[in-house]
A and B are shown apart, each in its own frame.
Chain A
Amino acid sequence: MNLAPKYAYYPGCSGQSTSSEYEVSTRAVCRALGLELAEIPDWSCCGSTPAHTVDHVLSAALAARNLVLAKEAGFDTVVTPCPSCLTNLKTAVHRMEDPDFMDKVNKLLDRPFHGGVQVKSVLQVIFEDIGPARLKAMVKKPLSGLRLAPYYGCIMNRPPDVMQFDDPENPISIDKLMEALGAEVAPFPLKVECCGASFGVARKDVVTQLSGKLLQMAETVEAQAFVTACPLCQMNLDLRQGQVNMAAKTKHNLPVFYYTQLIGVALGLAETDLGLDKLIVSPRGILARIGQKQPAAANQ
């Protein structure tokens, strides 16, 4: 008999493309932790950023289609790694608590949505269903000597009424998980600040400024790397770090990990399963030093 908790898994589009390392590491870590993910058959885009700016009903319908598929496949919980997908799926469920709104959405759907599905982030499932204590017991390679800046981004926990997970101003789930892995977590005050999000396309100056602030703060608190849970945040901090350096005449060189990658490292998973080679700012130096010496900041 298989007692592993089973979840309907919604990978999201960026997991298939720009953040494939998040996708593979999420799958690998969940497998290692005994969380069984069953990909929703025939899932489609949740509407991402554009849909809800145009039409709330359309946006909810795009998300609800995936929820209906999950329900039909026999699941009551959908998990997704991407905070943007999470927001769309959760907002859809939240809005459809209003029967009038649900009616409008169902007019757009071939097969109607009638609730009975909850949505969680993979982070929430790992934090709540596994928990730091159990995770700690499974660590094979403690991340000692690694001082991290935990960065949640602006939508993982907000708005609190919809997301209903962790603190909207000072979330601690990634902090606790990283501590369980043996890493040191720097007091990072900009945990939920905006990185500039998709402005990278339209207004690069906005992103270089906002992400630049985050990078600067990470260095101020003497973190050696970022740990994030959002593909867009990761991209802005990692891929655009060079642009930030150019714009602000700085020399940041901070690797930006997904929290799943670091859990994977600590659990001793194979590097190829974690997509570490996909990171733009190379984490090699830092990963090599893990477990070798005390963090720089602790000596001061």
Chain B
Amino acid sequence: MKIGVFVCHCGSNIAGTVDTAKVAEAARQMPEVAFATDTMYACSEPGQAGVVQAVKEHGLDGVVVASCTPRMHELTFRRTLERAGLNRYMFEMANIREHVSWIGKDMQANTRKATDLVGIAVEKLRRDKPLTAKKFDICKRVMVIGGGVAGIQAALDMAEGGLEVVLVERSATIGGKMAKLDKTFPTVDCSSCILGPKMVDVSQHPNITLYAYSEVESVSGFVGNFDVKVRRKARYVNWEACTGCGLCMEKCPSKKAKDDFNEQIGTTTAINIPSPQAIPKKAKIDPEFCRQFTKGKCGVCAKICPSGAIEYDQQDEVVGEKVGAIIAATGFDLFDYTRYGEYGGGRYPDVITSIQYERMLSASGPTGGHIKRPSDSKEPKSIVFVQCVGSRDKSIGRPYCSGFCCMYTAKQAILTKDHIPDSQSYVFYMDIRAPGKNYDEFTRRGMEEYGTQYIRGRVSMIYPQGDKYIVRGADTLLGTQVEVEADLVVLAVGAESSKGSPELAEKLRISYDAYGFFMESHPKLKPVETNTAGVYLAGSCQGPKDIPSSVGQGSAAAAKVLSLFSRSQLESDPQVSMVDIKRCIGCGKCIATCPFGAIEAIDFRGQPKAQVIETVCQGCGICTATCPQGAIQLQHFTDNQILAEVNALCQQALEVNFE
């Protein structure tokens, strides 16, 4: 075999702390290396051309590139090899950037380690065999998990593109957080007026199947062929029959049920439709508050329902869906404001959250669009907004900026002045973060035209005095303590990851960060992809986002799926396990250990044997380590190859020791 080695400078990224010329020189002494050089940027066009040229000039059979992580450029160089006429799997990468130059400053040690890594790659490449990818059909249906604005946008874009879309939403209506908003910033247009038609489109689109009040139970399979089980929670109402007329709500005698849509400001009936704009506009029963369930008798809704839709004995139902791709758009949750004991949220009735305030501003909300103090229904004249409640605070484990609170606070202060012209709003803030289009102008308008008084400093304490609240904080611009008397205090709560995010991430086999937000494949260049092929992200499940970004990401994820599905077949990775049928004793240990169910038992001339389903195998290698016979081997990572790598390294170590 003739091997070519290319040691990349990566500008000063590698060459700054690794003597790349020396590494190339050392490589020339390695077995079967016919050509070795150092190169400025191996991944650049001239860099790749250099590889192609060397392959042709020296008749190379395989190539080692010592540069960055394979995550970044393995595919790039495999394509280069193909252009040079080689099999794309006759390529090895040595990571001398992340594993060497970025983590150490000692030029000599770095050069030695880089040389070791190149040596390992050469030894592995010597045992590589050309592999050929298999093609498989893809199921051109897609699932969107989460029916907020990002999920809705993705679903509509893909449905318009001709794909069949299954939209799964946890709550009883789609629309997410945006549907609960009164107005949006910085345009102050009515949130439900711009989202409502999109929600209706979802319900009417022939290509979209909507599972509301449902959750993803399990996910199996792989890109192009996922099997998803969806639990449709018992609603105790037949949604095929329910017309959403609302008669049941009028007559239901139990009126103490939690009103989640109105953020617990006020209550609702035990059988309820979340909001007048709900999609689907269907009723469901909250069994915790329903007298039929708690006391065993009532049945008023069943008697009154003109379409006979009430089914008290309805059970959860699990349906299976086959899809080729999945978009996670599960959004965010709001910070639990009661964790700030000093603000008294939860204890003092007139200390409320921004989203509760939003429901109060909304004409379809519990107060009909009038701002009223929850304690005595009086119209507040002095309203204090406290920013960064659950944002940028390490002490409560939320060191990140939630991003949109500055803006929605500015909006709420402006709306407050519209609702109550003789009111005065105060905003306690740390900094104003308004980087979006027209955002800064908007907050300035709040200050200059609407007279919102901004006080730079954190609030230390809120306590009631008479029927007012004293908000005590610092004014860090004046360098003094301030106390503001408020009739109503609105806590601008930050965002945290949606409840159950880690569990869903594990089902989808995608990564999540320390706060439970899903991780994108690359923060700059792959913002809606995950590291699991066929699974994409949209909206705030990946980190707090405002509406424009969420919509943008929804469309981006949709575009990714459309481009994935533009091919009729996908290539499977040939780096999968293979069974040596002669060695296999049919013990079945590999079948039991495979986390992906990729190995099946077959009968081979009367003997039980194992067989790998190549399209399902993820190339993890657990079976290889399990097999007592060494009969199952991961292509491209065989026992021989790994031993050769270890030997290459140990040989170096031995030599060092004997010096």
Contact = CB atoms under 8 A, between A and B. Distances in A.
A168 B339 CA distance: 11
A168 B340 CA distance: 10
A167 interface: yes
Contacts of A169: 340-342, 344
A187 B465 CA distance: 11
B465 A170 contact: no
Interface residues of B, number: 9
A167 B464 CA distance: 18
A254 B464 CA distance: 20
Interface of B: 340-342, 344, 347, 463-466
B473 to A, nearest CB: 15
Contacts of B463: 189-190
Contact of A170 (B347, B464, B466): B347
A187 B466 CA distance: 11
B464 A189 contact: yes
A168 B341 contact: yes
A189 B344 contact: yes
Contact of B344 (A168, A170, A217, A220): A170
A118 B344 CA distance: 31
Contact of B341 (A167, A187, A190): A167
A198 to B, nearest CB: 21
Interface string A147-182: 000000000000000000001111000000000000
Nearest to B465: A220
Interface string A210-226: 00000001001000000
Contacts of B340: 169
A169 B347 CA distance: 12
18 contacts: A167-B341, A168-B341, A169-B340, A169-B341, A169-B342, A169-B344, A170-B341, A170-B344, A170-B347, A187-B464, A189-B344, A189-B463, A189-B464, A189-B465, A190-B463, A217-B465, A220-B465, A220-B466
Contacts of A220: 465-466
Nearest to B470: A189
A180 to B, nearest CB: 21
Nearest to A216: B465
Contacts of B465: 189, 217, 220
From B340, B342, B347, B463, name the one whose CB has the most chain A CB atoms within 10 angstroms: B463
Contacts of A190: 463
Contacts of B464: 187, 189
Contacts of B466: 220
Contacts of A167: 341
A65 to B, nearest CB: 33
Contacts of B344: 169-170, 189
Interface string A14-52: 000000000000000000000000000000000000000
Contacts of A187: 464
A223 to B, nearest CB: 14
A170 B466 CA distance: 19
Contacts of B347: 170
Given A170-B341, A189-B465, A217-B465, 10 more contacts: A168-B341, A169-B340, A169-B342, A169-B344, A170-B344, A187-B464, A189-B463, A189-B464, A190-B463, A220-B466
Nearest to A217: B465
A124 to B, nearest CB: 18
From B341, B344, B347, name the one whose CB has the most chain A CB atoms within 10 angstroms: B341
From A168, A170, A189, name the one whose CB has the most chain B CB atoms within 10 angstroms: A189
Interface string A187-210: 101100000000000000000000
From A169, A187, A220, name the one whose CB has the most chain B CB atoms within 10 angstroms: A169
Contacts of B341: 167-170
Nearest to A190: B463
Contacts of A217: 465
Nearest to A169: B341
A220 B469 CA distance: 13
A233 B557 CA distance: 61
Contacts of A189: 344, 463-465
A189 B348 CA distance: 10
B152 to A, nearest CB: 40
A70 B499 CA distance: 48
A167 B342 CA distance: 10
Contacts of A168: 341
B114 to A, nearest CB: 39
A169 B339 CA distance: 10
A38 to B, nearest CB: 36
A53 B341 CA distance: 28
Interface in A130-159: none
A129 B360 CA distance: 46
Nearest to A189: B463
